[in-house]
Amino acid sequence: MSDTSTKNRTETELKIARPKLHKVILLNDDYTPREFVVKMLESVFRIGEPQAMAIMMTAHQKGSAVIAVFTKEIAETKADEAIELSQQFGFPLMVTTEPEE
């Protein structure tokens, strides 16, 4: 391979560097029903019932749980959707995002 094509390949590799992923985090509270949290995880995050139940129980027992990781924009959109749905039902459920280490 010539010097030129090696240089081009290196430039391409730099351009397609993986974007930083952001965690979507479910926070516990004393008011949102467990059943609603599970349904929200199923509908907003397309998570199956057994895994949704496990994530909900982790947040319930430990205070928080990682739902999934996405690019920054998708993570923030999903968190907004979860909060919006909860507010429509009158629940104070909170979902936040943070960059992965």
Chain residues binding ligand TYC by CB under 6 A are: 26-30, 32-34, 37, 56, 59-60, 93
Separation CA 27–CA 29 (nearest Å): 7
What is the nearest approach in angstroms of ligand TYC to the Cβ of residue 65?
Answer: 7
Please identify, using beta-carbon distances, which residue of 37 and 79 lies nearer to ligand TYC: 37
Nearest distance, CB of residue 31 and ligand TYC, angstroms:
7
Distance CA 44, CA 87 (A): 14
Distance CA 14, CA 79 (A): 30
Tokens 């104070």 correspond to what residue?
Answer: 92
- The Cα 6–Cα 27 span in angstroms is 48
Taking the complex as a whole, how short is the minimal distance between the CB of residue 55 and ligand TYC, in angstroms? 8
Nearer to ligand TYC, 9 or 34 (CB): 34
Closest contact distance (angstroms) between CB of 89 and ligand TYC is: 13
The CA distances from residue 50 to 53, 56, 93, in Å, are 5, 10, 20
Nearer residue to ligand TYC within complex by CB, 71 or 87 = 87
